[in-house]
Structure formats: C-alpha cells, structure tokens
A and B are shown apart, each in its own frame.
Chain A
Amino acid sequence: MSEPKLAKREVFSSRNVFILAAIGSAVGLGNIWRFPYVAYTNGGGAFLIPYLVALLSAGIPLLFFDYTLGHRYRSAPPLAMRRAGKQWSEIFGWWQVLVCFVIGVYYAAILAWAAMYFFFSFTEAWGDDPAGFLMGDFLQVAETPGIAFDFVPAVAIPMLVAWALVIAVISLGVKRGISRANVVMIPLLLVMFLVLVIQAVTLPGAADGLNAFFTPDWAALGDTAVWAAAYGQIFFSLSVGFGIMITYSSYLRRRTNLAGSGLVVGFANSGFELLAGIGVFATLGFLMQATGSSMEDVAAGGIGLAFIAFPSIVSSTSWGPLLGALFFGSLVFAGFTSMISIVEVVVAAIQDKLGLGRLTSTLVVGLPMALISMLLLPTTTGLYFLDITDEFINKFGILAGAFAMVVVVAWILRKLPLLQRHVDRVSSVQFGKVWLVLVGVIVPVVLGYILVNEVITKIQTPYGGYPLDVLGIFGWGMSGLVVVVAIVLAFTPWRKSTITEVDEDALDAKYEEIMAK
C-alpha cells in the first residue's frame, strides 16, 4: 500500500477565496433566468417549501459529498473515483468530466450572446421586435435544424474572445487565474445585480409582478411534479454532480472547514436566486403594466426571458440602457465564472492523467474545446445544437452521471461512512448519520425518480418537436457517446508515478494528525 502522501497540488490561498470560487461556479445563468420561472410555474410563493426541503435534504448533502470526494482524494473526478474505488469506478469520474466538456462547448455561445446584448442595450438594437431580431438579424437561425457551416460573425467574434479569456485565466492556475477572476467578478456581480434589483422594484407595476411571483398556490404542494421541479432546480443550480465541486475542493488545504464553507455556498446560491426572482418579476410586472398584458403572457424563462422579454423591458423605460447593461453584464459575469469552473474540470482531469504542466494541459484541453465550439455554435444552426445538447446533457449527462456516482460510492464501494467521518472530522458542523441517510437514500431516490420521468417523457414526446434523426445524433447519440468515451478513458493506463490506490487508514491517521496540530 502507498503512503498517504498523495501529490503536490495547487491550493486556494484561503478558505474565503475557495468560497468565492465555489459561489462563482454555482451562481450562473440558471440562477438568473431559470429559478424565477420555475418558481412562478410551480406554485409561486408555495414553491419555497419544496425548494427549502430540497436544499436541505439533497442540495447541501450532495454538495458535501462532492467536497468530501475532492478534498479527501485531492484530485479531479476520475482520479478521485479511482482512489475511492477501483479502475472501473473511474468511469463515473470521466463521465462527469465529459459532461463538462460538452457543456463548455456550448456555454461559450450563451456568454457571447450576453456580451453582445450588453452592447446592444445602449442602442436598443432590437428595435420594436426583440424576437425577430434575435432569431433573424442576430443569430440568423436556419429554417431547418441540422448542421450548417454558415458562420455568423457577430456570434463568432465574441465567442473567440470568450474562449481566449477562459483559456488565459485557467492557464494562470488556481491562485493567479481562477482565484483572482472570482475575487474580482463575484463582488462586482453582486453589486451590479443589487443595483438592478433596486431599480427594478422602483418601476411602476413592480408590485404586481412580485405579487404574481410570491402569491402561493398551496394546491401545488400536493403535486409530485412540483417537488421534482424543486429538487431539479436545487440540483442544477448548485453545480453539484458534474465534477466542479470535486475539482475545486481538491485545491483546498487538508485542514479546511468543509461543511461550514459549504453552508455559506449553498445559502449564497439560493439567496442569489431569490434576489434574481425579485429583480426579474419586478421588471416583468413593469412590462405587464406597460403593455397591458397578463403575467401569463410576459413570464418566460431561459433564452426567452433574457433575449426577448428583457430587451422589451429595456425599450419600455427611459433608463432602459442602464437596466439592460446591468442585466446582461450580470449574465456575462455569472456565466464567465461558471464557464471557468466547467473547463477547469476537464483541464484538471487531463493534468492528473497525463502529468502535464498547467499551461500545457490548459492548451491541450482548451484549444480542441474552443475549436469544436467555434465550428458548431456560431453558425446558423448553432441555436438548434445548443438547445438539444443542453437539454440532453443536463438530463442524461449531469442527472444520470450524478445518480450513478452516488449509487456507486454509497452502495457498491460502500464508502459513505468513511466520507461521513472525513467531512465531520474537518468541519465545524457535524451531520453524522443523518448525512448518510440523505446521500445514501434520499438523493438517489429523488434523482432516480426525476431521471426515470425524463426518460419516459423523452421517449413518448420527441424533445422540442425536432426531427428524430437530429435528436438521435445530438441528443441520445451524444449522451451515449459520453458514456462510451468515459469507459475508454477509464481503461487507459495511468502514468507509473501516479498514486491510484490509497491506504484509507493511513489517510485517516494523517488527517487526525493535521487536525490535532
């Protein structure tokens, strides 16, 4: 058996920097454009109850699960899963890495759109038809889904800039790149969004919007779909289950208060979602009043909210350009810090596997990702690719991958008690056996339920009405390919110098010694 000394590894300079980076990863586009709409359509104010239950019973426990795997085994997901188990269990680490690879490829496009809309806000470039402008003038979306290589320079150029910046930040490493980017951007994001919300709640009609958002529909609590939506929102918004938190926590010092830090990250993420809900629905209330529409007409989520509804709001008020700049600027900052974390997972995994330096591994990963991204996204069919890939990778990549990893660690490798002792040993808050039940039983049951529902829905109704061949390639095919490649990578040998097996007792003793200092 090997010594417990695992490897020399970069570390975050302090706990607070790690917390900012973790918040930067968790707070992303989903907090701003997904949560408000999900809450509104799933019981409004009553949604708070399943949302809180989901946060405490699955979100935060799963966050600790990721933290503990990364922290104990000090490596990106593949090596962490190898050290926690055997060669086959590495598959589940690579699965998460490949999910990040796919998401990174299309995420750059959304970042580019948000950046362009930041500038469009000053001229209200969409005129009086934001939907027509988005699909026609800006994205030049082709009439039929497929793959075309008709490039759209207005998307390609900002995407290229986004990739250059992401690669530059990651190549600088954990301390000089990732930490600094988050330390600057997260406080800025918070300030910008606070100003936006203060502006929003003073708009005429804001109270009506907030009324629609917070009025509870108590009957919704009896609907299992609402509870599934709450668990789904918490799961997707916390950045758990796809390797990011495992990777970031692998850069923590051994003596780090994992649970204490995790509680701050979990509540900061949900706190920001609430702020976003208030800001978005206050402005939608204004739009409702300005256009004489009902909330059902103006409420939207995702791309529809950001790039169609919000531009309409910007055009409807005299201080619209400032409102637009704050909104799209917030999207850019939230998206950029999340994208750094997504690409970092792949870089860290390759760095572990090949033993390359930081700059080399960043280029080995970043350049091919950027190339694929630049070939598929800034084209007239890019929106179709993004829509299908995003839907399938979320459901059959993140969700299925997380479900599989939890089941493997809890029920096949039976490592949960060991991980529970680890997180309790280094933390100021101990959850003991309760955590075992939540991660070992509640999380797989809930994730499994959502997953089975998704599979049934997708089989019964082709997603988005797309042709089956297109869904077969970019949806089902891509989801399956991710698993196949994960298996191949898992059975690719490690360098001889890489420690793939650890003596858990010796590792426990080492942590005891460090905690006693």
Chain B
Amino acid sequence: MTATAIIMMGTAMVTLWGGLGAAITHLARTPEVIVDEDDD
C-alpha cells in the first residue's frame, strides 16, 4: 500500500471507529434512569 492510502485508511479508522468509541463512552457515563411513567 502507498503511504497516502495508509494515511487515509488510518484517518478513516480513527474518525469512524474512534467516533463510535467516544459515543459509547459518553453514553456509558450517562446511565439509564428508569422512572415511573403513568402510561407505560
């Protein structure tokens, strides 16, 4: 693979998989709160 292709592949991985990791981490830090909902 050429250096440019490797850089683009790395950038794509960091952005999309890193974005997923960050989104999961953020969600894990805001735990689900289940409250009484009168119509459920």
A interface, CB within 8 angstroms of B: 5-9, 11, 14-15, 44-46, 48, 52, 207, 210-211, 213-216, 253-257, 260-261, 263-264, 266-268, 270-271, 273-274, 278, 428-429, 514, 517
Q: Within the complex, which residue of A7, A216, A517 is in contact with B4, where a contact is CB–CB below 8 Å? A: A216
In the docked arrangement, what's the CA distance between A510 and B24, Å?
Answer: 28
Q: Are A48 and B23 in contact (CB under 8 A)?
A: no
Given A8-B40, A261-B27, A274-B12: A211 touches B19 (CB 8 Å cut-off) = no
Q: Are A207 and B1 in contact (CB under 8 A)?
A: yes
Chain B residue at smallest Cβ distance from A48? B12
| Besides A211-B1, A215-B4, A271-B20, 8 other A-B contacts (C-beta < 8 A) | A6-B39, A45-B8, A210-B5, A216-B5, A255-B33, A257-B27, A263-B19, A268-B20
In the docked arrangement, what's the CA distance between A213 and B1, Å?
Answer: 10
Residues of A within 8 A of B2 (CB): 211, 215
B interface, CB within 8 angstroms of A: 1-2, 4-6, 8-9, 11-13, 15-17, 19-20, 23-24, 26-27, 30, 32-40
Q: Are A257 and B32 in contact (CB under 8 A)?
A: yes
Given A211-B2, A267-B20: A9 touches B40 (CB 8 Å cut-off) = yes
Q: Top 4 A-B pairs ranked by shortest CB distance?
A: A45-B8, A267-B20, A263-B23, A214-B5
How distant is B37 from chain A, measured CB to nearest CB, in Å? 5
Q: Are B27 and A214 in contact (CB under 8 A)?
A: no
Q: Are A264 and B23 in contact (CB under 8 A)?
A: yes
Chain A residue at smallest Cβ distance from B38? A5
Residues of B within 8 A of A261 (CB): 27
Q: Are B35 and A517 in contact (CB under 8 A)?
A: yes
Q: Are A11 and B40 in contact (CB under 8 A)?
A: yes
In the docked arrangement, what's the CA distance between A214 and B2, Å?
Answer: 9
Q: Within the complex, which residue of B1, B13, B30, B37 is in contact with A428, where a contact is CB–CB below 8 Å? A: B30
Question: What are 6 residue pairs bridging A and B, where the CB atoms are less than 8 Å apart in the complex?
Answer: A45-B8, A210-B1, A257-B30, A263-B23, A270-B16, A429-B26
Q: Are A45 and B9 in contact (CB under 8 A)?
A: yes
Chain A residue at smallest Cβ distance from B8? A45
